[in-house]
Structure 1
């Protein structure tokens, strides 16, 4: 039993506990090239949140990791077989219900631990922050926490070298043999400004890629995944400790 994982702990342990921070991992269920499982984002979220929480818990942080939400926004992949979409409005409703419980029970800090690029919780947390003024609401994208170029040779953002390396480390039993891996070649929008940060449209997956991957995974190794996993969770654990210790009413500097 891991006391910091809500799904594994029990009422005997929790009835007299005082939790400072709840962590809500949020993933997706979608194709990841030919070789990675549909649950890739959920697996990453489960392992990364749990290990980060363990490191923080061992240093005295009072936190709990809630069960992972396994479905994310996949509106751009509506024609990819069995990619399961959860609309942003549905996510907002789920968040509202979870926050209602936490707020009622005196847990006033929530971190949405995002593991899927299609999810974006900022506008939702802005709205919910007005509804629940006692709550401190934050979100994170673990995949943006480190300079990936320091760990991996090939760029990309879906079933690429980074994600493949992580799955080779975390769940190698779910990764198909290397000869099945697609090249993850991305077809860019003809309007080049869509590749810049100031202009956006939703990426239509079946038009942007042949194998559902974005980024060449073929330089991936288990060893790279292990090093990256340990560095990311170490960084995140420090933030979790800071969030637990933070005085919300006095959180800004001079």
Structure 2
């Protein structure tokens, strides 16, 4: 069935008479996810969450369009991991500018990046693009922060962990290797405490901090946990799409 809120699905016959209020761009990455998850993990997650949240918002009356997912992200900390693909931030900025230029010209002046990769960092770009396109309402959503993962999962982590493995077991189980092939996702911590405490930052060189490219043990993962987590995210995010779509962005503050 053609989904009129998904640009990749729809067609000119429909679009020639359609008007949208909000465009959502999922942005992922192509990179190793432990031994057992596909390189497309971030793309699968971001696409599925954006499209399901878009469905929820559309069925409540939102004029939202989900753009095709960008499959490459910032992977500057993984140059030696085979076929981990990298877009530099300056490249991301150029892509964003071109996309926003199209939307602004065609009168779709609410735009959200739905981030699906930890290495992507959007705030400085949104600040700069906001000056270039003052009529546009620009924002970023981080699906991983929509709900508290600790309410759904037992083992902490941030890459190919219990959370991501559970999600992919739900969304694309045919792409997950058998459990015997799962790495432990053990992370080596920086010897300088401030970087672990979070008030100082330096990029993690991935091959030095993880043997299997995972961070977080996936052993407790199940598709059932993934489905519950997915639905919780999409429900809340769908309501946000609806709220932004309906909002008067010139009158947001009280």
TM-score by length of 2: 0.99
Confirm or deny that 1:238 pairs with 2:239: yes
1:105-156: CA deviation from partner (whole Å, max 9, x where unpaired): 0000000010000001110010000000000000111011111111000000
SS of aligned partner of 1:240:
helix
| Number of the residue aligned with 1:31 | 32
CA distance, structure 1, for counterparts of residue 142 and residue 228 of structure 2: 18
Confirm or deny that 1:55 pairs with 2:49: no
1:197 Cα shift? 2.4
1:16 Cα shift? 1.2
1:89 Cα shift? 0.1
| Number of the residue aligned with 1:124 | 125
Mapping for residues 1-254 of structure 1, pairs under 5 Å: 1-253=2-254
SS of aligned partner of 2:72:
coil
TM-score by length of 1: 0.99
CA distance, structure 2, for counterparts of residue 145 and residue 8 of structure 1: 26
Alignment RMSD, CA only?
Answer: 0.5
List 4+ stretches of structure 1 deviating above 4 A.
none
CA distance, structure 2, for counterparts of residue 206 and residue 129 of structure 1: 36
Q: Give structure 2 stretches of 5+ with no counterpart.
A: none
Q: Give structure 1 stretches of 5+ with no counterpart.
A: none
How many residue pairs align between the two structures? 253
1:141-193: CA deviation from partner (whole Å, max 9, x where unpaired): 10111111110000000000000000000000000000000000000000011
CA distance, structure 2, for counterparts of residue 100 and residue 222 of structure 1: 40
CA distance, structure 1, for counterparts of residue 246 and residue 199 of structure 2: 36
1:74-126: CA deviation from partner (whole Å, max 9, x where unpaired): 00000000000000000000000000000000000000010000001110010
